[in-house]
Structure 1
Amino acid sequence: MSPSPVEIVSSQVVPIAVDQDVVRVRQAMRGVAVNAGLSLVDQTKVVTAASELARNTLIYGGGGQAVIELVRGGGRTGVRVGFHDEGPGIADINLALTDGYTTGAGLGLGLSGARRLVDEFGLDSAPGAGTRITITKWGR
């Protein structure tokens, strides 16, 4: 059975180039999550995941952008955000998604933690090709 098509109700692009942009991503995500009718718990989960991924986009990807969308599909409404950077990419995606793995000074819970907080998680990256991550959180 193929998934239902997803309709993009609204979309906004948030450039990620400085620390303040991570805050802007969080604020925009909160607004869209409220508009999607997500519970407070689900709002917190998706905003937390987006904040972590925005910070990774800035720190490891050298900056990029977030495309935040209010989406509908399969009789439900949700929020989807795609992060894109032109950074060095991720050489070993499976390793990067392992709890505790880090190439920086963090705890190594960013990617794996973000993945646990959302309903859908997609990651596409390769060395020298940048990184694209898409997350979706659906209303219940």
Structure 2
Amino acid sequence: MKLVLNKDKMLIEKEQDVVPFRNRVKEHAVKIGMSLLNQTKLITAASELVRNMLKYAGGGVAIIEVISQGRDNGIRLIFQDQGPGIKDIPQAMKDGFSTGKSLGLGLPGTKRLVSEFDIKSKEGEGTTVTIIKWKNG
């Protein structure tokens, strides 16, 4: 069972919201003593997901949680939007797939950077992506 120790919620509506969000993620990661390498992986994943939310859904809500499971501490990030949703999640999770004009590294690349990755999406209703990066993982 994962216990939430601290929760921070941010509205992401424009490109200018990305840097303060990244800074907030870093602050929480530093507080729990996450290594610089794991901080970098977490912030890279968070940046990709927050930019996807802006690009494809026009923004949404990002929640930062400091969590604990046994002796492990970590950061859980939840990205929720009311965008068009993802039609085919398995397809979207393949390297090289893109509906935009990007390299298509987003979702599968993000999954590789974090300890846990979950995505739920309904066409016409939106998408929720949840990632966890454990302090030591």
Shorter chain as denominator, the TM-score bin is over 0.9
Count of matched residue pairs: 136
CA contact (8 A) 1:90 1:127 kept: yes
Structure 1 gaps, min length 5: none
1:135 aligned residue: 131
1:43 aligned residue: 39
- 1:115 alignment partner, one of 82, 106, 111: 111
In 2, the alpha carbon distance for the partners of 1:106 and 1:50 equals: 17
Q: CA deviation at 1:25?
A: 1.6
CA contact (8 A) 1:16 1:65 kept: yes
* Structure 1 runs, 4 residues or longer, greater than 6 Å off: none
Task: Tell me the TM-score normalised to structure 1 length.
Answer: 0.95
1:106 aligns with 2:86: no
Structure 2 gaps, min length 5: none
Counterpart secondary structure, 2:6: strand
- 1:76 alignment partner, one of 72, 79, 83: 72
In 1, the alpha carbon distance for the partners of 2:24 and 2:41 equals: 14
Task: Tell me the TM-score normalised to structure 2 length.
Answer: 0.97
**Identity across matched positions, percent:** 48
1:27 aligned residue: 23
CA contact (8 A) 1:81 1:135 kept: yes
Q: CA deviation at 1:105?
A: 1.2
1:86 aligns with 2:82: yes
CA contact (8 A) 1:37 1:77 kept: no
Counterpart secondary structure, 1:69: strand
Q: CA deviation at 1:126?
A: 1.7
CA contact (8 A) 1:32 1:79 kept: yes
Structure 1 residues 61-98: Cα deviation after superposition (integer angstroms, max 9, x where no partner): 11101000111112110000000000000000011111
- 2:61 alignment partner, one of 41, 62, 65: 65
Structure 1 residues 6-28: Cα deviation after superposition (integer angstroms, max 9, x where no partner): 11111111111000111122111
In 2, the alpha carbon distance for the partners of 1:45 and 1:120 equals: 13
Q: CA deviation at 1:53?
A: 0.2
